[in-house]
A and B are shown apart, each in its own frame.
Chain A
Amino acid sequence: MKLSVNLGKLKLGNPVIAASGTFGYGEEYSEFIDIGRLGAVTVKGLSLRPKDGNPPPRIVETPAGMLNAVGLQNIGIDSFIKNKLPFLRRFRTRVIVNFFGDSISEYAEAAVRLSSAKGIHALEMNISCPNKQAGWSIFGTDPRVTFRVVSAVRRATGMPLIVKLSPNVTDIALMAKAAEDAGADAVSLINTLTAMAIDINTQRPKLANVTGGLSGPAIRPVAVRMVWECHKKVNIPVIGMGGIMSAEDAIEFMLAGATAVAVGTANFVNPRAALDILEGIKSFMSARGIRSPGELTGAVKLDVA
């Protein structure tokens, strides 16, 4: 049985990835699991300059999920390279660096800065953040803007480039196509769904930021549908995520079209979740005589039985 998968030029030892923002910079989890056994670790989203993020409360639980409004708090690219990357280099896992910017030129500059660091295997650009030049909108909701920002990053780096798509759109496959046309090596989805919760006693939003991003099992069926739509539309690999708690959930994403899967909120519930899921995928494959994860990708049967 072979477990490795290819995401364009990026080769992973197995299809299980830790999702950005849920795995810190890897250190916290190394006490609980051998992070070297993961296909890849995606680090918390980075920007050129450090960001403080939003005031508390930042998280609140909702039915089978959670809202977060961390606000992209991060230590900044330079501090990451100097203080966090050396730790990650010790493991054989692939390191995917998630990053974002306030403007197209910031995205490009961030990509240049990250491309010169040793020990980063791929870049994942988060386009679910506000486009300061265009007021309230985010880079990931207009396919023309998506195309422009991805093209700029594509010119800035030769590294494998993953575009992380926002689900807060009418047609996510259009965004995937725009990313592919602009030269992305893969797309990953879904990021969190914009959501809100109100305390009926105080009549105030439960998050200081008013709205936050919904993640966890509550979003899984939406995510599976979106992965399926993107898989049909583009020829580049799709990384699927959104509420994966078990190997069964991960396999569902693969059947919908995911080449690899990312585990997010589940890490909070069980710090061993990502490795448990990898073990479960292996058992499923060997029980069914599946020789490679690729046999599962997009294998959903749509004909009437």
Chain B
Amino acid sequence: MSRLFEASVKDNRRLAENHYLLTFHPLKKIRRPEPGNFFMLSTGNGLDPLLKRPFSIHRRTGSDIRILYRVAGRGTDILSRKRPGDVLQIIGPLGNSFPVGRSRKNIILVAGGVGIAPVFALAEGLIASLKKPVLFYGAKTGSGLLCIEELNSIGIETHICTDSGDTGRKGPVTAILREFIQGNPSVSEDCCIYACGPEPMLRSLSALAAEYGLRGYAALEQNMACGIGACLGCIVNTTGGYKRVCREGPVFPMNEILW
């Protein structure tokens, strides 16, 4: 089953300022994506923008795939103008996924901003397999908190915070998580953290995890050209040397990343 396919846009709706939810329907059978996997999507139809853009799987409904994205530049701006019926060229699913095989008692999910996209996919999967993860979710302001209704509907315990303090607790998500761990010392036994968000958040989360001796995994981002491991453009520095985010990642053990 080739991972190169075309898909038609079913829906592309604005969720909040600069944030959209895109649903596409693959025009042929594709491999089943796992939380953490990503797709490379064409944005324009011509030579500019040239390269495809990477987006995490956010949700799967039947054979349809959902992508949750922030308008960050030209490519995502063009993507936000796609209408139902428009055709996208896609490669995927690509990369590794969050390793949940060896089940842990206390599962902590951490998301910052649009980092909720893959974290939601993981949360949905965990709950479907009767796990009880706890989610810590932060954004700059309340309007940047996405898919709150979807989170409510899957019934996950969610701790919300914003930098502005207009919604939820005020402060960074790592500070809220630190309080939680201090208040519930037993969580650190048999615990695993899964996270996605801006690099500064992941960096302080890694430090926090190291401090409490917690294991954890982070989904990373890096500029990509090919998405399939050929260009060596997307590397991250790890304890094992440079690794390709698109191939050995995007999910890495937090203690292996050299921030």
Contact = CB atoms under 8 A, between A and B. Distances in A.
A173 B241 CA distance: 40
B201 interface: no
A19 to B, nearest CB: 11
Contacts of A63: 48
Contacts, number: 96
A44 B4 CA distance: 23
Contact of B51 (A44, A53, A66): A66
B50 A265 contact: yes
Contact of B50 (A57, A61, A267): A61
B223 A271 contact: no
A70 B3 CA distance: 25
A267 B52 CA distance: 11
Interface string A20-52: 011110001101100000000000100000001
B198 interface: no
A21 B75 CA distance: 24
Contacts of B75: 61
A245 interface: yes
B232 A64 contact: no
Which among B4, B224, B230, B242 has the highest number of chain A CB atoms within 10 Å?
B230
A74 B176 CA distance: 43
A245 B47 contact: yes
B228 interface: yes
Contacts of B49: 61
Contacts of B233: 58-59, 68, 70
A52 B50 contact: no
Given A52-B241, A57-B222, A271-B4, A28 B47 contact: no
A235 interface: no
B148 to A, nearest CB: 30
A29 B230 contact: yes
Nearest to A59: B233
A32 B229 contact: no
Contacts of A24: 229-231
Interface in A66-110: 66, 68, 70, 73
B5 to A, nearest CB: 11
Given A52-B241, A55-B237, A60-B223, A44 B50 contact: no
B79 interface: no
Contacts of B228: 28-29, 31, 271
Contact of B226 (A52, A73, A268): A268
A65 interface: yes
A64 B47 contact: yes
A64 B3 CA distance: 25
Contacts of A22: 226, 230-231
Contacts of B50: 61, 64-66, 216-217, 265, 269
Contact of A59 (B3, B225, B242): B225
B106 interface: no
A205 interface: no
Interface string B1-18: 011100000000000000
Interface in B220-250: 222-237, 241-242
A28 B233 CA distance: 14
Nearest to A57: B223
A73 to B, nearest CB: 5
A68 B51 CA distance: 13
Interface in B62-105: 75, 89, 91
Given A61-B50, A66-B50, A66-B51, A53 B242 contact: yes
Contacts of B226: 22, 28, 267-268, 271
Which among A58, A64, A268 has the highest number of chain B CB atoms within 10 Å?
A268
Nearest to B231: A268
A59 B234 CA distance: 8
Contacts of A245: 47
Contacts of B237: 55-56
Contacts of A271: 4, 91, 226, 228
B200 to A, nearest CB: 14
Nearest to B53: A61
A267 B50 CA distance: 11
A11 interface: no
B155 to A, nearest CB: 39
Contacts of B234: 56, 58-59
Contacts of B231: 21-22, 24, 59, 68, 70, 268
19 contacts: A23-B230, A24-B231, A31-B2, A31-B228, A44-B232, A52-B241, A52-B242, A53-B242, A56-B236, A58-B223, A58-B235, A59-B225, A59-B234, A65-B50, A70-B232, A73-B232, A216-B50, A269-B52, A272-B4
Interface of A: 21-24, 28-29, 31-32, 44, 52-53, 55-61, 63-66, 68, 70, 73, 216-217, 245, 265, 267-272
Given A59-B224, A63-B48, A68-B233, 9 more contacts: A21-B232, A56-B237, A58-B234, A73-B242, A217-B50, A267-B226, A269-B52, A270-B89, A271-B228
